[in-house]
């Protein structure tokens, strides 16, 4: 769950919400929604500890077409958007050390269909440099570069220490003021109400995202009936506490106007509290963590594309394997091209908004699958039953619906394109289904 988001999005959320109270509420509600989704995923994962997680649950609850749509969305929209966002976050960190990265090269203003608000597209050095980062890490993976478990644990420890450091520095060395929590009016930014709150929550949900990933390896978890629910619930609760504390620390150190103006909030907080030197080292640590996250995302998601192509439910040209390094070479190239196109066409905020729009459609369907399967398969062995059923799953679905509708309204062009790409998968599903009538989707999401 801990990635680049928490080090950046508090400022984005402040710009959307317009007040400290709404930003804090967005963290709390976003954490609660993530916890509700995790409770539902815990029941499904404990009952069906299968590789593929969401794919397996969708397939079982709604049929193979919906399982395929999830796999298709992950490969065409979800994974490329996630990779592009991580790369954009990496360059946002780099912008603190090298401000030229954020220098605009050109700006376009145009009006979108069905929208009275002009859209501004700013192209900076960050976009092409994000493509370079994606290409470089994909190239390394082409040669079989793997990040071992110990390295990933080390990077996770670094990220947790970085968050704890920002919290401690903010509260104990930041020379902050409680008056900053009431400084929205002085900043000239008015509270934006429900719409601003929902937009701010998108940033929170990007930072919280990742809780569902543990279900993808459910078949490899020992005692899944106990350990999957435990890891999901405790993990979300712990991260929620960390994120709220860090957000409060940021507002304690910086006035609201300072938070709104920041492009790299964690670094700015440390610089304000202890000086540029400590902020530089923290930023370097965050860049290393972002590179590790980018590598992990590219490494794992390319295998999904390859597996789907191998099983006949994705483009054939993606299934090629390098004979020397035994890596899914074509899948890596295909994934890098899609992620690079997205990185060139959007900012960090645009990219994580697209990811949340696509992902939360299926998170809602997955959570609703708990209700569907309790009615469809009442005798299914359920070592863990979601707490708060059916109220909390219903609240999650309602929240996800409100979030995606607001996102479509706020970023209509990008969301519409994302939705069209998802639905376009049905055309390919029909083609591949005819070619392989014997349920080829069975391993598509593994």
Q: Tell me the C-alpha distance between 31 and 361, whole Å.
A: 18
Mean pLDDT of 259-263: 86
Mean pLDDT of 290-304: 80
- pLDDT at residue 192 in the model: 61
User: Using 50, 70 and 90 to split pLDDT, how confident is the model at 46?
Assistant: confident
Domain hosting residue 386, numbered range = 5-443
Of the given ranges (155-164, 257-266, 279-288, 387-396), which has the lowest mean pLDDT? 155-164
Strand intervals (E) in 99-187: 104-111, 118-124
CATH number of the domain within which 264 lies = 1.20.1740.10
Give how far Cα 286 sits from Cα of 11, 280, 291, 414, 419, Å: 17, 10, 9, 28, 32
Q: Tell me the C-alpha distance between 286 and 299, whole Å.
A: 20
Give residue-wise pLDDT tens across range 102-151.
888 888 776 766 555 666 778 888 999 999 999 998 888 877 655 444 56
CA 406 to chain centre: 17
Give residue-wise pLDDT tens across range 55-91.
788 888 998 888 888 888 988 988 899 899 999 989 9
Mean pLDDT of the chain: 83
Q: Tell me the C-alpha distance between 167 and 94, whole Å.
A: 22
Number of domains in the chain: 1
């Amino acid at each position: 769950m801990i990635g680049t988001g928490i080090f950046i999005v508090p400022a984005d959320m402040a710009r959307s919400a317009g007040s400290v109270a709404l930003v804090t509420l967005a963290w709390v509600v976003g954490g609660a929604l993530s916890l509700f989704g995790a409770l539902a995923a815990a029941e499904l994962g404990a009952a069906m500890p299968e590789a593929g997680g969401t794919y397996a649950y969708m397939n079982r609850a709604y049929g193979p077409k919906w399982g395929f749509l999830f796999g298709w969305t992950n490969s065409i929209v979800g994974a490329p958007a996630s990779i592009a966002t991580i790369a954009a976050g990496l360059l946002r960190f780099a912008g603190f050390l090298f401000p030229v990265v954020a220098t605009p090269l050109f700006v376009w203003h145009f009006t979108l269909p069905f929208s009275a608000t002009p859209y501004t597209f700013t192209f900076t050095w960050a976009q092409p440099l994000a493509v370079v980062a994606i290409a470089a890490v994909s190239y390394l993976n082409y040669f079989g570069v793997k990040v071992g478990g110990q390295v990933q644990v080390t990077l996770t420890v670094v990220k947790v220490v970085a968050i704890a450091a920002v919290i401690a520095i903010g509260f104990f060395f930041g020379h902050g003021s409680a008056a900053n929590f009431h400084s929205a009016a002085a900043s000239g930014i008015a509270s934006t109400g429900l719409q601003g709150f929902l937009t701010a929550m998108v940033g929170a949900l990007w930072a919280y995202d990742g809780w569902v990933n543990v279900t993808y390896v459910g078949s490899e978890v020992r005692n899944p009936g106990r350990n999957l629910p435990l890891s999901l619930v405790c993990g979300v609760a712990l991260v929620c506490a960390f994120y709220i504390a860090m957000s409060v620390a940021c507002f304690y150190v910086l006035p609201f106007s300072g938070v709104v103006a920041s492009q790299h909030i964690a670094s700015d907080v440390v610089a304000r509290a202890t000086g540029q030197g400590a902020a530089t080292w923290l930023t370097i640590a965050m860049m290393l963590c972002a590179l590790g996250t980018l590598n992990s995302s590219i490494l794992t998601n390319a295998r999904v594309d390859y597996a789907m192509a191998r099983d006949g439910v994705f483009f054939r040209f993606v299934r090629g394997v390098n004979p020397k390094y035994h890596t899914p070479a074509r899948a890596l190239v295909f994934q890098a091209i899609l992620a690079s196109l997205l990185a060139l066409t959007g900012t960090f905020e645009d990219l994580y908004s697209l990811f949340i729009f696509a992902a939360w459609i299926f998170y809602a369907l997955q959570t609703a699958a708990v209700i569907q399967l309790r009615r469809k398969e009442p005798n299914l062995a359920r070592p863990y039953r979601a707490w708060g059923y059916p109220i909390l799953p219903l609240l999650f679905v309602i929240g996800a619906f409100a979030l995606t509708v607001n996102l479509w309204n706020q970023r209509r062009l990008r969301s519409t394109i994302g939705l069209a790409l998802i639905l376009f998968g049905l055309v390919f599903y029909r083609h591949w289904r005819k070619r392989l009538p014997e349920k080829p989707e069975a391993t598509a999401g593994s």
